[in-house]
A and B are shown apart, each in its own frame.
Chain A
């Protein structure tokens, strides 16, 4: 048996823990740089806000409904996520953290106990300890646990916990195909054309037919709905395969100086992440472009890819390559709105030996990165950095409405009042 615990409107819920007056009000959280909507409270979902909506198109609606807008506060969300996951681990040692706000839980270890009761106890504990409301679905397979979770979310009378048990048909009939885990928009459209509306309908199709009309993953999904396990429980999350760092500029960038600084900053942050996870990258891709929304300014979009002679996570090696790629592509007279880099073909372990580099150089680079990381960890991100990332503040994020980092910064603790009433 599996359970899926999923935090309700996680980012908005995190904001509410420290600002209880946001309870019951529509809240939206914006992407890095305040670009578009990435999370919504239940109330703002009802108002029709969609994930991905660019904020500048929503200004009127925000004003009209007094919507609370917050910049993303990942220091806070990350810390609250850690607390939720640690609480879950107290109930079962077998936990697969699926995303920042979701985890699969292996229930078979809880011998002889009533799974549903145990999950209700867990839900109450998470709410009490962290302030975060979660929904929990219980089922024989991961797909069924997901489906039961969806049901628990949609039906308040479940009290946030639903189990799909011996007689699943009734619950299967209430869930639309598009809401099944792994059934994307394309497939659900095709399925609806075939007359398949709900999870129950999908269960009525012959597995071989599903395999022929779609593929083996769709067939496995259908079989999981029948209670046959096809998706394994992974104890550790999948290894990262790519790493992206990109951001739009608060103000359009026109000079090579600013553009190159932005690219170097992205590399710095990405390389730091690689070293943190003991990964190296084989391929670098850079890109930058002008606004996609502007009708008046001329458009220019550029990208380039390079393969390193040997996989690396050394900041200055990657910066050098990135700038070498970008410089010939840069054109004067364009207003660049976004720049970014991808690190691809990531693998674990230390960098491979390179024929053209001496051993001393490799040792020196490694030591240098260790010192760099140590200083930046103890004294704050960006304390020590490469001159190519610049000293101007072009890259500082536009985050006008960010809440304090309540749980990770001494200077930003929540305040409680000791005053009248």
Chain B
């Protein structure tokens, strides 16, 4: 599923003829997957589309890391199945009730409504968003 991205942990510039003393300390590479994908079997990548979660740091076009094995809790950002499609929301739990809440930035406040769901969220929650990857080189 995931192509490995290997970066050297320590790397010294090599002067002609003289190896860097730091080279002795190169042990292994680090891999972004180690940080972002804890359970590869249950991890899927999903592309975000729209502005309703900008307040949570999710922008249009961002890459989301979704782990289906993580238990959704109060406050989790989740992918929920709404009207047969995949949607990103913040999960808020209140007693036996659960709310799926959008989190737009100030400009869009009020444009999006919350959705009330029953206590059994298993069928409606597709997975928990664990990371959002935002590309800073281009604006969406």
Contact = CB atoms under 8 A, between A and B. Distances in A.
Given A420-B111, A421-B112, A414 B88 contact: no
Contacts of A421: 82-83, 112-113, 115
Given A23-B84, A128-B69, A413-B63, A420 B47 contact: no
A414 B86 contact: yes
A79 B69 CA distance: 17
Contacts of A19: 84
A416 B69 contact: no
Contact of A21 (B52, B68, B85, B115): B85
A417 interface: yes
What bracket does the count of chain B residues touching chain A fall in? 35 or more
B130 interface: no
Nearest to B102: A418
A128 B50 contact: no
A83 B53 CA distance: 29
B44 interface: yes
Nearest to B84: A21
Contact of B64 (A86, A131, A410, A416): A416
A420 B85 CA distance: 13
A251 interface: no
B36 interface: no
Interface string A89-131: 0000000000000000000000000000000000001001111
Residue of B44, B50, B83, B102 with highest tally of chain A CB at under 10 A: B44
B42 to A, nearest CB: 4
B79 A20 contact: no
Interface in B104-136: 111-113, 115, 122, 126
B140 to A, nearest CB: 12
Contacts of A407: 1, 44-45
A60 B66 CA distance: 40
Contact of B68 (A20, A128, A413): A128
Interface residues of A, number: 28
A402 to B, nearest CB: 18
Contacts of B85: 20-21, 416-417
Contact of B48 (A128, A131, A406, A418): A418
B46 A20 contact: no
Nearest to A410: B45
User: 5 shortest A-B CB distances, which residue pairs?
Assistant: A21-B84, A418-B50, A129-B42, A419-B50, A416-B86
22 contacts: A19-B84, A23-B84, A79-B1, A128-B122, A129-B41, A130-B42, A407-B1, A407-B44, A410-B45, A414-B46, A414-B47, A414-B86, A415-B47, A415-B86, A416-B64, A416-B79, A416-B88, A417-B85, A417-B88, A419-B51, A419-B52, A421-B113
